[in-house]
Amino acid sequence: MRVLFLAWVAFADCKSSVNRHEIRKIPDGILFGTATASYQVEGAWNEDGKSESIWDRLTHSTPCPVKNCDTGDIADDSYHQYERDVEMLRELGLDFYRFSLSWTRILPTSFPDKINEKGVEYYNNLIDEMLKYNIQPMVTLYHWDLPQKLQDMGGWTNPHVVDWFTDYARIVFELFGDRVKYWFTINEPREVCYEGYGGPSLAPLYNMTGYADYMCAKNILVAHAKTYHMYKNEFSKIQGGTVGIAISANWFEAESEKEAEAAEEARQFEWGTYINPIFSKNGDFPAVMKERVAAKSFEQGFFRSRLPEFSPEEVELIKGSSDFLGINHYTSKLIYRNASLTSDTYPSPSFYDDMGVMSYYDSTWESGVSSWLKIVPWGFYNLLTKLRTDYDNPPIYITENGFSTYEGLEDDSRISYYRQYIDAMLDAVDEGSDVRAYTAWSLMDNFEWLQGYANRFGLYEVDYEDPKRTRTARKSAYVYKEMLRTRQLDYHYEPDTTLPITIDEGH
* Interacting residue ranges for ligand GBH, rule: CB under 6 A: 37, 40, 187-188, 191, 195, 201, 248, 328, 330, 372, 400, 441, 448, 450-451, 457
Q: How far is the CB of 187 from ligand GBH (least distance, A)?
A: 5
> From residue 210, how far is each of 87, 272, 420, 465 by CA, in Å?
45, 16, 37, 42
Of 310 and 417, the one with the shorter C-beta distance to ligand GBH is 417
CA distance 383 to 266: 13
400, 465, 494, 505: the active-site residue: 400
* Nearest alpha carbon to residue 377 among 415, 421, 345, 431: 421
User: What is the DSSP secondary-structure string of 371-382?
Assistant: TT-B--HHHHHH
Of 191 and 255, the one with the shorter C-beta distance to ligand GBH is 191
Tell me if residue 259 is catalytic. Answer: no
CA distance 17 to 14: 9
Of 347 and 432, the one with the shorter C-beta distance to ligand GBH is 347
Helix (H, G, I), strand (E, B) or coil at 316: helix
- Give CA angle at 377 (390, 429), nearest 5°: 50
Of 11 and 144, the one with the shorter C-beta distance to ligand GBH is 144
Q: How far is the CB of 61 from ligand GBH (least distance, A)?
A: 18
CA distance 191 to 372: 14
Burial class of residue 199 in the structure, from the number of CB atoms within 10 Å of its CB (0-12 exposed, 13-18 middle, 19+ buried): buried
| 426 close to 489: Cβ distance less than 8 angstroms | yes
| 192 close to 216: Cβ distance less than 8 angstroms | yes
Residues in the chain: 507
Q: How far is the CB of 371 from ligand GBH (least distance, A)?
A: 6
CA distance 472 to 289: 46
| 38 close to 100: Cβ distance less than 8 angstroms | yes
What's the alpha-carbon Rg for the chain, to the nearest Å? 22
Q: How far is the CB of 246 from ligand GBH (least distance, A)?
A: 8
Of 147 and 402, the one with the shorter C-beta distance to ligand GBH is 402
* Nearest alpha carbon to residue 328 among 367, 275, 406, 258: 275
Q: Which amino acid is at 246?
A: A
Q: How far is the CB of 115 from ligand GBH (least distance, A)?
A: 26
Of 420 and 446, the one with the shorter C-beta distance to ligand GBH is 446
Q: How far is the CB of 372 from ligand GBH (least distance, A)?
A: 5
Q: Which residue is nearest to ligand GBH (CB)?
A: 201
CA distance 198 to 181: 33
Q: What are phi and psi of 408, to 5 degrees?
A: 130, 145
Q: How far is the CB of 436 from ligand GBH (least distance, A)?
A: 19
Of 176 and 330, the one with the shorter C-beta distance to ligand GBH is 330
Residues 6+ apart with CB under 8 A from 310: 218, 221, 222, 277, 283, 284, 285, 318
Helix (H, G, I), strand (E, B) or coil at 277: helix
Of 40 and 102, the one with the shorter C-beta distance to ligand GBH is 40
CA distance 189 to 273: 9
Q: How far is the CB of 114 from ligand GBH (least distance, A)?
A: 28
How do 136-142 and 96-100 pair as beta strands?
parallel
| 346 close to 304: Cβ distance less than 8 angstroms | no
Residues with active-site annotation: 400
